[in-house]
Amino acid sequence: MPFTHKKRINTAIPSASMPDIIFMLIFFFMASSVLRQYSGLNVIMPKAKQIEKLTSKVHVTQLWIDKEGRVSVDGKLVNVNSLRNIFYEKRSADPQLIVSIRADERVNMEQMSAIHNELRLADALKVNYSTKTAI
């Protein structure tokens, strides 16, 4: 009695529902992801009675100062003495540069004056102060 070999069964994965699964995964990750709004230091903004919003944020560089006196430029912690070199290079690359200062309301005036002097020496004279509206 001769033995008969069993035929191999073709085990292919059906790919007809693959686009549906991919779109469900994309929607899940889009719905569950959280986008960062600000990348600066933790600051409590001073309040103002009247503010004017910047029309374009293309030429704006953010400078953050928290209550401990730490300074951050575009999300990177820097020393106050290096602000002159940083903003001189940024100003050379973009002559329309506007420095937006987001300082905590508890920052002392001595540090603000030092930062202003460094910006003056870097020829970054267009300065904007970011505030909250007073309610």
pLDDT on residue 89:
93
pLDDT at 134 over 70: no
> Would residue 54 count as lying in a domain?
yes
Residues 6+ apart with CB under 8 A from 60: 54, 97, 98, 99, 100, 128
Mean pLDDT of 85-97: 92
Asked whether residue 105 is assigned to any structural domain, the reply reads yes
Number of separate domains in the chain? 1
Residue 91, domain member (yes or no): yes
- Dihedral of CA atoms 88, 89, 93, 95 in degrees, nearest 10, equals -10
Instruction: Write the CATH number for 85.
Output: 3.30.420.270
pLDDT at 40: 63
Read off the pLDDT of each residue in 82-92 and give the average, rounded to a whole number: 92
* Residue pointed to by tokens 């430029």: 73
Question: With bands split at pLDDT 50, 70 and 90, how would you rate the model's confidence at 122?
Answer: very high
Query: Mind listing the pLDDT tens digit for each residue in 14-60?
Result: 778 888 999 999 999 988 888 766 566 777 777 777 777 777 778 88
Nearest to 77 by CA among 88, 68, 122: 68
Range of the domain at 104: 47-133
